[in-house]
């Protein structure tokens, strides 16, 4: 890239939003408070919201670009990127409230110090909502970040910085992924393989996740995400990398759940299979030791036990969804 082609702005911050009036104001306010913000460009990419999201963005005096119709978060991020001028594109979800003020410095240091294709942030561990499902999901995601490697082939897009040139070379987010499911995993996997580099997780870059869940929304989100992951696994160039990357404690927890389900069904035929069921349950709790300790430290023993039990239900549900989508895509193709 020549000096004439080099962007004059170092960082373009892109906030995709669809009906995000409940969190957008706090999100933008936090962004405007980061150090050296005046040297950044802030763009709100609006996915045809029908609430007051656009008015909130204009109140902050930021640039707003909009899809004429609802196209999904992947297309909306791409829209923001196409209208950005920065050398680095920083995507921040509209339900993220940045708690780190030195983000620009950290991102500069990371790209200068490491040969990576992206930098991702982490979730601030402060609990925003007190209900069980929101707290459970928040702590689950925080734990995932805590046990993740520093360098990864994929990352979520809650807080994600990508060099502009690499972003467009990878053709941006796949717009066939319409919802906020695993479009970020698919894109970052593809980006990492294209560049033969990894993404750095910088634990200094933090944001509070202002996302409220109930049982229905939690299971629905998980089901849609599983469907997208099945699509990723079906892509030959991404399958091996994703499967190697996903060999984590959460993946290992699925095996005893499957065994427990089989033994429970068999116990209705022969009673002694109940011992196999009990053994599988104990094995599940053993695999979830780190999960239990973290939740206990944050919310106490009762919440930790309840969370481990719910995680078993959630994983069983995920396995059923995974089986359904594998059958669905095979029939469709």
- Cα separation, 56 vs 60, in Å, equals 7
Mapped onto helix, strand or coil, the DSSP state of residue 109 is helix
222: tokens are 């998980």
Rounded average pLDDT over 290-311: 94
Residue pair 157/76 in contact by the 8 Å Cβ criterion: no
Q: What is the separation of C-alpha 254 from the centre of its chain, rounded to a whole number of angstroms?
A: 20
Rounded average pLDDT over 41-58: 96
| Per-residue buried b or exposed e for 21-32, using 16+ beta carbons within 10 Å of the residue's own CB | eebbbbbbebbe
DSSP output for 192-261: HHHHT--EEEEEEEEEEE-----HHHHHHHHHHHHHHHHHHHHSHHHHHHHHHHT-SHHHHHHHHHHHHH
pLDDT band at 247 (very low <50, low <70, confident <90, very high): low
- Cα separation, 91 vs 80, in Å, equals 9
Q: What is the separation of C-alpha 249 from the centre of its chain, rounded to a whole number of angstroms?
A: 18
Q: Which residues contact 269 (CB under 8 A, 6 or more apart)?
A: none
Residue pair 56/21 in contact by the 8 Å Cβ criterion: yes
The fold of 9-212 is Spore Coat Polysaccharide Biosynthesis Protein SpsA; Chain A (3.90.550)
Residue 188 pLDDT greater than 50, yes or no: yes
CA atoms within 13 A of residue 26's CA, in its CB half-sphere: 16
Domain borders along the chain are 9-212
- Cα separation, 238 vs 186, in Å, equals 8
Rounded average pLDDT over 59-86: 96
The pLDDT of residue 253 is 59
Rounded average pLDDT over 131-136: 97
Entry pTM: 0.89
Residue 105 pLDDT greater than 60, yes or no: yes
The pLDDT of residue 30 is 97
The pLDDT of residue 268 is 79
- pLDDT, one tens digit per residue, over 214-235 is 999 999 998 998 888 888 888 8
pLDDT band at 249 (very low <50, low <70, confident <90, very high): very low
- Cα separation, 239 vs 3, in Å, equals 39
Query: Could you tell me the maximum CA-CA distance found in the chain, to the nearest angstrom?
Result: 77
- Cα separation, 131 vs 218, in Å, equals 13
């Amino acid at each position: 890239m020549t000096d004439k082609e080099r962007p004059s702005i170092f960082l373009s911050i892109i906030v995709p939003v669809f009906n995000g009036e409940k969190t957008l104001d706090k999100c933008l306010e936090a962004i405007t408070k980061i150090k050296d913000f005046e040297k950044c460009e802030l763009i709100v990419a609006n996915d045809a919201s029908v609430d007051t999201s656009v008015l909130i963005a204009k109140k902050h005096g930021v640039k707003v670009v909009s899809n004429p119709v609802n196209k999904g978060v992947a297309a909306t991020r791409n829209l923001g990127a196409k209208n950005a001028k920065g050398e680095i594109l920083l995507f921040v979800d509209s339900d993220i409230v940045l708690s780190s003020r030195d983000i620009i410095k950290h991102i500069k240091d990371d790209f200068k110090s490491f040969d990576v294709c992206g930098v991702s942030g982490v979730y601030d561990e402060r609990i925003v909502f007190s209900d069980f499902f929101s707290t459970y999901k928040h702590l689950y995601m925080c734990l995932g970040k805590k046990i993740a490697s520093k360098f990864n082939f994929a990352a979520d897009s809650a807080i994600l910085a990508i060099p502009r040139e690499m972003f467009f070379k990878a053709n941006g987010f796949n717009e066939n992924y319409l919802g906020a499911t695993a479009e970020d995993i698919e894109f970052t996997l593809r980006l990492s393989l294209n560049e033969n580099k990894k993404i750095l997780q910088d634990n200094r870059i933090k944001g509070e996740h202002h996302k409220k869940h109930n049982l229905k929304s939690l299971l629905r989100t998980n089901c849609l995400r599983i469907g997208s992951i099945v699509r990723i696994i079906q892509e030959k160039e991404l399958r091996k990398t994703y499967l190697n990357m996903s060999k984590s404690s959460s993946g290992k927890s699925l095996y005893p759940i499957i065994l427990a389900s089989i033994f429970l069904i068999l116990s209705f035929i022969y009673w002694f299979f109940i011992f196999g069921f009990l053994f599988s349950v104990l094995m599940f709790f053993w695999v979830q030791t780190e999960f239990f300790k973290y939740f206990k430290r944050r919310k106490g023993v009762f919440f930790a036990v309840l969370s481990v039990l719910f995680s078993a239900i959630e994983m069983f549900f995920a396995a059923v969804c995974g089986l359904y989508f594998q059958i669905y895509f095979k029939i469709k193709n």
